[in-house]
Structure 1
Amino acid sequence: MTMIQQDGSPDFAATADPRSGGRRLERGTVNALVVFGLSIALVVASRMISPALGSWSQVLTILTLASFLVVLSFGQGLVILVGGLDLSVPALITLGGVLTTTWAGADAGVLTVPILALVLGVCALVGLVNGIGVVLLKVPPFIMTMATSITVASVALGFTSGTPRGASPAVLLDLMKTSWAGVPVVVFFLVAFAIAGWIVQSHTVFGRQLFAVGTSREAARIAGVPVGRVEMLPYVISAACAGFVGMMLVGYANGATLRMGDSYMLPSIAAVVIGGSSILGGSGSFVGTVGGAILLTTLGTVIAAIGLDQGWRTIIEGSIIILALLALREGFASRIRLRAKRH
């Protein structure tokens, strides 16, 4: 029986099997702690490669670089939570960056914030198209978001004639380049965003509805959840997050390129899966996703310090996704222990 909370929303946690609720909570917490522990261990171990690695300044650099992936993975994680997948994020990162430098630029003045809001609105509108295609037209998420990605990338190419112009507005330079008390401002932003994302995903009615839809659409519909709207909104949020990452990259590099988002699609999925979310939807923790993003960023930094090319990073990220998917399968760990006992 579905319980009703004091705020009038269905209590899906109470609907779940009481024997598994505590175990799931503990498992999510353990996943997050393990991922953060691996990140710390990797930072410490990296000092064996080079004394410059593992220093406080290097940690701040890792957190700065991880901020892009954390913001992007929040939106991707919500889409995955409802059983979807957003492959349009690279093109939307590029769109956000290109529109920012073209419309806002360095001379927008008092109009900078409204123009940036307009850019996010355009990106969110593209996400709405994704949501309509997936929810109303029943196009598979993989196909819908890939088609959107190709279309948006083509529009960006035509809009810029192959060469994005303009520089970063001052507000984005301040976010990405300035420091306060010796700590980059973007690190404070990262902490605030992580806390806000955790609250939204785990402690709001909307977050509970996402878990319910990802677990069972039919059960959620019977419980009174507006399934279509709840399933559509994550695509809008994911697109807005991708557009904002494009803005952050503009502030970091003081410019935009047509390939600026290409390297973020696989990591955005990997961070979510490594953090303990099920690729099939219905379970996940944004705290774990933050840990996954930091772990991948740390790994990329170490790989770059060793001198390996980008291809090795992609191979490692793909391998991590496969291992995480295996580890998250129900009964996988139990079967491993059983076989170990037999041998």
Structure 2
Amino acid sequence: MRESRTHTQQQGVDRPGSLARQSDERGSIRIQRETISAIAVYLACIVALLLSKFINPEFGSLHQLQTILMLASFLIVCSFGQGLTILIGGLDLSVPSLITLGGVLTASWMGGASPDAGAGWQIPVILAVCACTGAFNGVGIIFFKVPPFIMTLASGIVVYSLCLGATGGNPSGASPHALSVLMSGRLGGMPIITLFTIAFCVLAVVIQGKTTFGRSLYAIGSNPVAAHIAGIRVGRLTILTYVASATFAGFVGMMLVGYSNGATLRMGEFYLLPSIAAVVIGGSSILGGRGAFLGTLGGAILLTILDMIITSLGLEQGWRTMIEGALILAAVVLQHEKALDAVRTALRKKRNAQ
């Protein structure tokens, strides 16, 4: 009896330490996995740039790199919002419609009568309209238990139909001066959009990886029940996540208006698959709970480089969609647990050796 009691007490002492070691091991594996994914995607970007020089000698120059970053800026911004929803195990299929909504409202309201009109209060109001759609998605998912796929698809269809009905299929207006400066202006010899993209990326890394909000999203994506027991307000944060995704998508619509000096009803449809592909290629799990924005950034840049190569070759849009779909499939397969056994084994051997 005494030996049994002693054995039980020993188990009680050892178990917390064992659980802590298991938790540390899982965290180490997650960080290792994200690091490997980020390195791989940036190496792929370098290889794509080197190969592209055989197609166009201008590829790889400073001007070309600035062009790549400018074109990637749209995908970077909307992929950040999409990545937050994927991080909690969701998905936002309303991104294209919200991009269109932001663009149509910007062109018709801010640029319709006077493209040089002030944008101090109109931009926040337009973003608030987009945010309300995101809140609607979040409420439907949390309180009415509608699957994210269905909820965001349905709201996207409604938003697009409203844009179609309000514009008669032909949006009018031009870019306001503030957005034109953002997309084409220069500051100290550097394009303003390049400086903006760099600042946005730094802010996104901090928000997703260093704040309580970001760490809570990882917990929700890993196990929402455990996150709720731990005191995380799962419902509120889920709604905020979809609000953020909708807001960033609406801002991308504004950026596109500033870039093209107008809006179309199809301006957002090219960003649904790429926004998901950039997140998944960057190492995020489509099931949630794992990923880093630096990987998403690399995925967005890689897709932009491939898009420019396809354009230089004169290939049609179908090739772009096929390549993006193939990259998503490859990334999901590589993320499978069996494909990562080698990483786990290497980590265990290294830890045992130490």
TM-score, length-normalised on structure 1?
Answer: 0.91
**Aligned mates of 1:195, 1:329 — CA distance in 2:** 30
Q: Note closer, same or farther for the CA distance 1:335–1:199 as it changes in structure 2 (3 Å cut).
A: closer
1:259 aligns with 2:266: yes
Q: Which one of the candidate residues 61, 65, 71 is aligned to 2:71? A: 65
Deviates more, 1:173-182 or 1:91-100: 173-182
**Aligned mates of 1:200, 1:27 — CA distance in 2:** 20
1:317 aligns with 2:324: yes
Partner of 1:215: 222
**Aligned mates of 1:155, 1:110 — CA distance in 2:** 25
**Aligned mates of 2:25, 2:321 — CA distance in 1:** 39
Q: Mapping of 1:280-291 within 5 angstroms? A: 280-291=287-298
Q: Mapping of 1:192-341 within 5 angstroms? A: 192-334=199-341
Q: Which one of the candidate residues 51, 55, 63 is aligned to 1:49? A: 55
Map Cα deviations across residues 280-330 of structure 1 (whole Å, 9 max, x no partner): 001110010001000000010011111111100100000000000011111
**Aligned mates of 1:38, 1:324 — CA distance in 2:** 13
**Aligned mates of 1:40, 1:182 — CA distance in 2:** 25
Give 1:332 shift.
Answer: 1.5
SS in structure 2 of the partner of residue 112 of structure 1: coil
TM-score, length-normalised on structure 2?
Answer: 0.88
SS in structure 1 of the partner of residue 66 of structure 2: helix
1:172 aligns with 2:179: yes
Deviates more, 1:52-61 or 1:210-219: 52-61
Aligned residues: 325
Deviates more, 1:254-263 or 1:38-47: 38-47
2:111 and 2:174 in contact (8 A); partners too: yes
Structure with the greater alpha carbon radius of gyration:
2
1:23 aligns with 2:63: no
**RMSD between aligned alpha carbons?**
1.8
Map Cα deviations across residues 223-243 of structure 1 (whole Å, 9 max, x no partner): 000110111111100000000
Q: Note closer, same or farther for the CA distance 1:149–1:15 as it changes in structure 2 (3 Å cut).
A: farther
Q: Note closer, same or farther for the CA distance 1:102–1:125 as it changes in structure 2 (3 Å cut).
A: same
Map Cα deviations across residues 136-167 of structure 1 (whole Å, 9 max, x no partner): 11001111111111100000011111111111
Q: Note closer, same or farther for the CA distance 1:273–1:151 as it changes in structure 2 (3 Å cut).
A: same
**Aligned mates of 1:335, 1:30 — CA distance in 2:** 12
The letter for the 2-side match of 1:237 is A
Deviates more, 1:72-81 or 1:156-165: 156-165
Give 1:110 shift.
Answer: 6.0
Give 1:55 shift.
Answer: 2.1
Partner of 1:80: 86
2:116 and 2:178 in contact (8 A); partners too: no
Tell me the percent identity.
53
| Structure 2 residue runs without a partner (length 5+) | 1-19, 346-354
